[in-house]
Amino acid sequence: MSEKSFDLDTVKKLAELVKKNDLGEITVVDGDKKITVKGKVCVCAQSVTPAQPATPAQPAAPVQTAEKAVSGGKEVKAPIVGTFYAAPSPDAEPFVKVGSQVKKGDTIFIIESMKVMSEVPSEFDGVVKEILVKSGDPVDFDQTLMVIG
């Protein structure tokens, strides 16, 4: 899988491009590699439809996690919109747990977007202090998912 995936910097740059230009999505093909990054246009459409408790719960979570992250360590944010997976498969052990020691470059979770599984490496060394989402949860670009101290 690693040989056919984009590096994290490329994914971040694409996500910034989508956000800056208010695009619905962007697709990049490089040989046999393909990535599609969707903007918040798609997420907003989902948020508008169910105007019930799900809407207030989502904005409240990042506010609380940001406060915890500032005092407890470095925030690990979602590089793209997608679905968070803690393990490589449903029956496998998670990449990391609270208390796990990680080094820069270690895979710490996967985000699935458009049926493409993107392994996300740690950007720094440390110990996992908190995991703020559950496997299978939808995540937004730049949402804090984990705290490493």
What is the separation of C-alpha 124 from the centre of its chain, rounded to a whole number of angstroms? Answer: 16
Amino acid sitting at position 7: D
Question: What does the domain layout of the chain look like in residue ranges?
Answer: 2-148
Q: Compute φ and ψ for 41, nearest 5 degrees.
A: -55, -45
- Taking the model in full, what pTM does it have? 0.54
Structural contact between residues 91 and 111, judged by C-beta atoms closer than 8 angstroms: no
**What would the pLDDT profile of 90-131 be if each residue is shown by its tens digit?**
899 999 999 999 999 999 999 999 989 999 999 989 999 999
The domain 2-148 having CATH identifier 2.40.50.100: the answer here is: yes
If one compares 2 and 72, the residue with the highest pLDDT of the two is 72
The mean pLDDT of the chain is 77
Could you give the maximum distance between any two Cα atoms of the chain, in Å?
Answer: 44
Structural contact between residues 40 and 21, judged by C-beta atoms closer than 8 angstroms: no
